Structure 1
Amino acid sequence: MKKRFQILLFALVFAVVACDKPIMPKPKHLINEKQMIDMLVDVHLAEATYNKYRYDSVMQDNSSANFYASVLDKYAVSDSLFEQSYVYYASLPKKFEKMYRKVMSKLSEQEQEFSGRKEELELEFEENPGKNAR
């Protein structure tokens, strides 16, 4: 019984210590949290766009890598720096969870904004159908 208690105590201490310290050291050039959140939002949007249109004939010569590359180009960040920063933040579960909550919040805001604009455009078209036809 005492042996089980010691093993359980050791496992608990190990788990607590493991959650507090990052698995990997902080990269020399770490992407700051705000920019990382913005990049993750764009990565998710790029991925969703690719998945929506990947079977379209226009997209035959594109891959998801092109969409990721466009996000990296937008922020002028190399893929290795993005990967190092992503792994570093992911090694800090509590911080990473907070960051992803912000990512999801921004995506939800954009979805609501887009949905509202779509409804406004539909209403405008219904009120003035000849105005939008060219």
Structure 2
Amino acid sequence: MIKKILSCLSAFLMLAACQQEEVIQKPEGLVPESKMISFLIDMHIAEAKMGYLQVKDRDSLEIIFRNYEKALFEKHQVDDSAYYHSYEYYLADMEKMHEIYSAVVDSLSVLNSIEKNKDLGISEE
């Protein structure tokens, strides 16, 4: 699962780096990096969970994901438009986006290790 996410993130970042540089103004209500990282961690976990659901209808899966996404916006107290504008802003600065996604990937790796240890019956002390 983590390898799939890492592959997708790497491809995404490479594609984004190839795009023309465009100056994007700092949006009003910019989501702070720490909150963006926390939100993205939960978003990628939600995306991974969607892959494990036994839902064959893509429309139904889309509805489930949108409801999950809405719950994440509420949980993190982030407005969806503020998130999308902030994401575009950070994406325009590839160094900053790399830092954000490095933190996301590191956190997902730690969470994955914790889950593997639980499966093996190893405690985290």
TM-score, normalised by the number of residues in structure 2? 0.71
Classify 1:33/1:54 alpha carbon distance in 2 versus 1 (closer, same or farther; 3 Å). Answer: farther
**CA deviation profile, 1:50-86 (whole Å, cap 9, x unmatched):** 12115279xx574321121121111111110110111
Q: In structure 1, give the amino acid aligned to 2:50.
A: Y
Residue identity opposite 1:33 in structure 2: E
Which one has more relative contact order, counting CA pairs under 8 Å at least 6 apart?
2
Q: Quick one: structure 1 residues 56 and 70, their matched pair in 2 at CA, closer, same or farther if it must change by over 3 Å?
A: farther
Which runs of no fewer than 5 residues in structure 2 stay unpaired? 1-19
Aligned-CA RMSD value: 2.3
Runs of 4+ in 1 over 4 A off after TM superposition: none
Residue aligned with 2:121, SS: helix
Question: Residue 98 of structure 2 aligns to which amino acid in structure 1?
Answer: E
Q: State how many pairs are aligned.
A: 100
Structure 1 residues 93-104: aligned runs within 5 Å: 93-104=94-105
CA distance in 2, matches of 1:106, 1:52: 20
Spell out the pairing of 1:30-109 with structure 2 (5 A cutoff).
30-55=30-55, 60=60, 62-109=63-110
Report the residue type matching 1:69 in the other structure: K
Which protein shows a greater Rg? 1
Note if contact 1:50-1:67 (Cα within 8 Å) is conserved in structure 2: no
Structure 1, unmatched stretches of 5+, are 1-17, 122-134
Give the TM-score of the pair, scaled to structure 1. 0.67
Q: Percent identity?
A: 26
